[in-house]
Amino acid sequence: MAGATLHQRDMSAIEVFADVSCPFTHVGLRRLVDLRTQLGQPDAHLIVRAWPLEIVNGQPLDADFIAEEVDDIREQVAPDLFTGFTRSAFPASTLPALALAAAAYHRDLATGEQVSLTLRDLLFEQGVDIADLDVLHGLAADHELEFDPTDTRTVLADHAEGVERGVIGSPHSFPPAGGLFCPALDVHRDADGRLQVHVDPAGFEAFLTACFGTPAT
């Protein structure tokens, strides 16, 4: 659906409410894009909506906490990802980056998806601070986007809609059929409080069926 905007999406679109600094979302989106390519369904667009965790939690995310999550996720399920992540470049706020992604989606779905994925790659694979306005303006210029980092109206509207739709965390996905929280992974903490992350094959198969009408082969 070339040229479609966020408000003119087709029913094949996969909506994901997420924060750009959520490492679980980074894993899920990368895997989903790879599988979409394998299944030959490039028109199943990803619409990554804002679920700003600093608003949900009432405070910015802690860089040390996220770095521990990244270490656990990489060790347990994603050794190929987070290669350039550094806690020193963790953003103080993700609201400007989420605003940029929203501006990109108002251009069209393809630009929105590309900018959303690029922001996560900058943070998690290149160790770039995506709260740096020079970085954000540079990415906006790459896509010829008008971007006001202080205009968070769409970000806040996404959050309000997510609350109404029952979003419980990042990532919370809404494929064409149903809604699922973090469908690819089983995430919990053990008795000692250590993060445990495991691939959830049954959950992921159900998610793929909801997204594409067929499980992966």
DSSP string, 11-38: TT-EEEEE-TT-HHHHHHHHHHHHHHHH
**Per-residue pLDDT averaged across 33-55, rounded?**
90
Return the biggest CA–CA distance within the chain: 50
pLDDT at 73 over 70: yes
**Per-residue pLDDT averaged across 79-89, rounded?**
96
d(C-alpha 125, C-alpha 197), whole Å: 20
Tell me the per-residue pLDDT of 106-154, one tens digit each, with 9 for 90 and over: 999 999 999 999 999 999 999 999 999 999 999 999 999 999 999 999 9
d(C-alpha 97, C-alpha 81), whole Å: 21
pLDDT at 213 over 80: no
Give the per-residue pLDDT at 22: 96
Residue 26: closest CA among 93, 84, 88: 84
DSSP string, 165-196: TT--SSSEEE-SS--EESTTEEEEE-TT--EE
**Per-residue pLDDT averaged across 35-47, rounded?**
86
pLDDT at 1 over 70: no
Tell me the per-residue pLDDT of 93-105, one tens digit each, with 9 for 90 and over: 999 999 999 999 9
- CA 216 to centroid of chain Cα atoms: 21
Structural domains of the chain sorted by starting position, each given as residue range(s) with its CATH number in brackets: 11-212 (3.40.30.10)
Q: Does 187 or 40 have the greater pLDDT score? A: 40
**Per-residue pLDDT averaged across 154-170, rounded?**
95
